Structure 1
């Protein structure tokens, strides 16, 4: 009754509450998907390229000692280093090489420990980073199968594209330095390493041409001698064996062995490689990545202690203040790209859903005004959504937005129940004020039943603390909080707005 006696004050207070709640948005933050505590840790280290596997093994044994000492919640672990001819490691997003080591740590169940996997990961990151010789360190908490589904990369992946590798790498170092100054960014790395030791064979094309040799012939000879060549296949008892030819191990150890490789001339004679080429040790990139016919370098990082969207926004601001080399393109990849794309799609679906619901109600009510009154309650559901996420310590993620889209139909349904009954009472001859009061009293129970049953259904998601609950708890908070406030709005704001509109029409 008080809201009907002072309709303008009621609407003003509701609008002020909505505006003040929107101020919480920067404090909540955004991310693609909530990070789960899967009771699993992954440690990946990179030493200087060319490091012998024995040295990498020594470092990994130190890491194993640190884990066993600092993690009493340890259930099982494995450690490996080096590379294999046939391995599924790359399918799980892992690199391989004599300088790379991996460790997988399985923790006891979440209910049996007092620390989260993120807290343990932060502790290990500090302890392991003090080991001399480690150039890159990654301590992740993502389950192996989740890494396959999500692409195996880090949360933040900034793609720098251009044609000049040296210019790209110089700019990538600047971006990396800026990212190191941003709170929440950890495990920062660049996926381009120009320091791999390699043997450069520079062919004197003029001298080789005089002897009748081509670059392809010289390259094929070197490959056959030092890598090998499948000469034939051997069949025995139904099994097939490859005959692989190359020099013996003692004949392919030093630069001298390469320089003294005999090259067969067209007339059958032989000439040593050193007579037609210069052999020297140099350095070059481990791998060169390309995208859209351009060379690409990625600056990557994980996020700890802050929402991913906030860290990405800070880096965007830092990039806007940096001088970008001409011809260099910058774009987001990884989870940031997927987050922004998913948010755009869901916001479009939200708007489309609102329009379609309005059109359906307009056809059913045979009025443009009454559906508008019902739809006007939709913005106020964000009061409960933002408050519940803020109080619950959750972020606005893909899961949260799915909950917002779900709420549109629920909120509208409550409004339809109330407004439709008010229209029925007015058709029976009651005045606007009396119809609103009677309709509010008689439709209070159906509206509350609808809201309470739905809120009760998602309440277990709100209070859940088990393993994997981090993924669905924001959905429960969104639906519970949004439905709570939207129900109050339906019972107070919608009748008040209905009364004001009808009063103006008269």
Structure 2
């Protein structure tokens, strides 16, 4: 019975829950649930003071004292609660809102129809198997879309500026000032910090650990208002800023918003592998427009960056042999003439100072002077450098990337808004398959977020296999029967039916957190089948007839399975609504548990009757 202490405990709990929601869940769902909690608390207080609720609670207290010493009063109370007649809302909260006394007869009739004949059992099982196959086809056909992590609404946006190589710092700063002027007009921006002369941190460069410094580079980190104080998401605002900055043509400007999940590399990454840099650069340049033409692709980039041109000394092997010279000797002389070499160290004022040997600047003022350097060969004869080496001005690159000891060029890109990287990858592969042929000896290896997604999915699948093996082993030990263990295991695909159908209806993408939710769901749904089969075993050991044992087990475990499932579902709802990242995780548990709880009560008894004979001992 409801007493005064318990009444105020519930009321305080509702008020505290509403306060917590208003403080920590400042979104639509958090505020809505908080208002419901406050309304319920206010209704309880109104009932207590205005409808003589305090007198009823006092009467309940006195009645509880009398019931402790009178069995007839207890029996009368149980008979009254069993009828559920003339109960108001508050009594239903105490004694149960769901009328299981009405549900159990319906369930009993349904279960009898399902298991009464062999034909009915086969129909039920084949229909369930067909529904399972159709649900599995939902992610395979793309009706339930897949992704690594969903795009989330963060409070930072990153702008990277890359001007032409060699541009001085002042000119780069002028370009940055134009960008800053445009950013000032956005009311969602709280502040931004700018760095000129160095690459800045950005989501696509997360984990690289290296930021290049150069006069033509700059970066801006933008801080925007809290989600509750703006009507636009961070990734939508990034798209808007990117479109606005397209007017500035003096530099390559990329605007990125962090995606959900842990830091990762670019959303799309194609690693073009081969031997010749010029060919690799040509392939990347040919593929870049194809990638940019795919809807939703932004910030396409090639890793092979031009650097200031360099003078290259190409040695002629035949001439070196003719003049009795070798490459190491010539190289050491040129290095000493241009860069200098360390010949000794001295201690000066307790500091170690290097002594460098080099040519005076007036001795080699021009390139022609370098070409006319005289080198004495092994016979002591002077030879001009230009007689054994050809000096050329050639373009250079700032970094060389290798994959498995082969040269590689990375073609990378981000995605805008809710565009999924796996869709971009699929379209890109289809386009180059139709419209482009790679030269012989060159290949493309795909990485980035798609590679991380594949690795994560494989890790979860391995965990699922291990989980299934552990579940089977435990069940065989528990029931001493392989058949019963397999019957329990059938509940796992029943859970997947609800997961995929629910995600398809609500258009929720299957992400990596969703796979973790499915893995957690396996342990939850198996529990329902275990307690059901355990009850069947107890009934059979007690001497109850075969069919009556199975039907009674379902009836007696119906309320327990439903209540535990409902509690789990309500417990996971706050996590599901807290953030886009956790929506798939919560949805997989909620929808999987909703449908599997119902199907378990029908399918497990049907399988038991089908595969476990009446004469089998338990």
Does residue 190 (structure 1) correspond to residue 298 (structure 2)? The answer is no
Give the equivalent residue in structure 2 for 1:162.
Answer: 274
Does residue 318 (structure 1) correspond to residue 426 (structure 2)? The answer is no
Give the equivalent residue in structure 2 for 1:4.
Answer: 112
Q: How does 1:83-102 map to 2 (within 5 A)?
A: 92-102=209-219
After superposition, what is the alpha-carbon deviation per residue over 1:181-214, rounded to whole angstroms, capped at 9, x for unaligned? 3233221222124575333344566667777765
SS in 1 for 2:143: helix
Q: How does 1:211-360 map to 2 (within 5 A)?
A: 214-224=326-336, 227=339, 235=347, 265=376, 277-304=389-416, 305-321=418-434, 322-360=436-474
> 114-123 vs 265-274, which deviates more?
265-274
Equivalent pair of 1:218/1:263 in contact (CA under 8 Å) = no
Deviation at 1:253, TM superposition (A): 9.2
After superposition, what is the alpha-carbon deviation per residue over 1:348-406, rounded to whole angstroms, capped at 9, x for unaligned? 33133223312321232222222222211211212222244445554322222122111
C-alpha distance in structure 1 between counterparts of 2:503 and 2:361, whole Å: 64
State which of 1, 21, 27 in structure 1 corresponds to 2:135: 21
Does residue 438 (structure 1) correspond to residue 552 (structure 2)? The answer is yes
Give the equivalent residue in structure 2 for 1:113.
Answer: 230
SS in 2 for 1:283: strand
Q: How does 1:342-491 map to 2 (within 5 A)?
A: 342-390=456-504, 393-464=507-578, 469-491=579-601
After superposition, what is the alpha-carbon deviation per residue over 1:262-315, rounded to whole angstroms, capped at 9, x for unaligned? 566479999886676554433233322212121111211112332222222223
C-alpha distance in structure 2 between counterparts of 1:386 and 1:56, whole Å: 51
Q: 1:237 to 1:167 in 2, by over 3 A?
A: closer
C-alpha distance in structure 2 between counterparts of 1:426 and 1:30, whole Å: 46
> 248-257 vs 454-463, which deviates more?
248-257
**What is the TM-score normalised by the length of structure 1?**
0.83
C-alpha distance in structure 1 between counterparts of 2:344 and 2:152, whole Å: 52
> 248-257 vs 89-98, which deviates more?
248-257
Deviation at 1:489, TM superposition (A): 1.8
Give the equivalent residue in structure 1 for 2:75.
Answer: none
Equivalent pair of 2:347/2:353 in contact (CA under 8 Å) = yes
Equivalent pair of 2:172/2:196 in contact (CA under 8 Å) = no
SS in 2 for 1:38: coil
- How large is the Cα RMSD of the aligned pairs? 3.7
Give the equivalent residue in structure 1 for 2:604.
Answer: 494
C-alpha distance in structure 2 between counterparts of 1:181 and 1:83, whole Å: 27
Equivalent pair of 1:73/1:113 in contact (CA under 8 Å) = no
Q: 1:272 to 1:50 in 2, by over 3 A?
A: farther
C-alpha distance in structure 1 between counterparts of 2:365 and 2:146, whole Å: 54
> 330-339 vs 228-237, which deviates more?
228-237
> 194-203 vs 182-191, which deviates more?
194-203
Give the equivalent residue in structure 2 for 1:31.
Answer: 147
Long gaps (5+) in structure 2: 1-108
C-alpha distance in structure 2 between counterparts of 1:89 and 1:416, whole Å: 46
**What is the TM-score normalised by the length of structure 2?**
0.69
Deviation at 1:339, TM superposition (A): 1.5
Deviation at 1:90, TM superposition (A): 9.2
Q: 1:275 to 1:61 in 2, by over 3 A?
A: farther
C-alpha distance in structure 2 between counterparts of 1:273 and 1:82, whole Å: 39
Q: 1:484 to 1:499 in 2, by over 3 A?
A: same
C-alpha distance in structure 1 between counterparts of 2:207 and 2:176, whole Å: 19
After superposition, what is the alpha-carbon deviation per residue over 1:446-494, rounded to whole angstroms, capped at 9, x for unaligned? 2234323332332211111xxxx33333222222222222212222332
Does residue 57 (structure 1) correspond to residue 169 (structure 2)? The answer is no
Long gaps (5+) in structure 1: none
C-alpha distance in structure 2 between counterparts of 1:90 and 1:366, whole Å: 51
C-alpha distance in structure 2 between counterparts of 1:360 and 1:436, whole Å: 23
C-alpha distance in structure 1 between counterparts of 2:194 and 2:287, whole Å: 34
Equivalent pair of 1:4/1:499 in contact (CA under 8 Å) = no
SS in 2 for 1:298: strand
Larger radius of gyration: 2
Equivalent pair of 1:29/1:395 in contact (CA under 8 Å) = yes
Give the equivalent residue in structure 1 for 2:65.
Answer: none
Q: 1:425 to 1:249 in 2, by over 3 A?
A: farther
Equivalent pair of 1:235/1:241 in contact (CA under 8 Å) = yes
Equivalent pair of 2:521/2:593 in contact (CA under 8 Å) = yes
C-alpha distance in structure 1 between counterparts of 2:112 and 2:148, whole Å: 43
After superposition, what is the alpha-carbon deviation per residue over 1:156-178, rounded to whole angstroms, capped at 9, x for unaligned? 21222122333333333333333
C-alpha distance in structure 2 between counterparts of 1:449 and 1:236, whole Å: 83
> 306-315 vs 287-296, which deviates more?
306-315
Deviation at 1:118, TM superposition (A): 1.0
Give the equivalent residue in structure 2 for 1:69.
Answer: 185
Equivalent pair of 2:160/2:199 in contact (CA under 8 Å) = no
State which of 160, 163, 171 in structure 2 corresponds to 1:44: 160
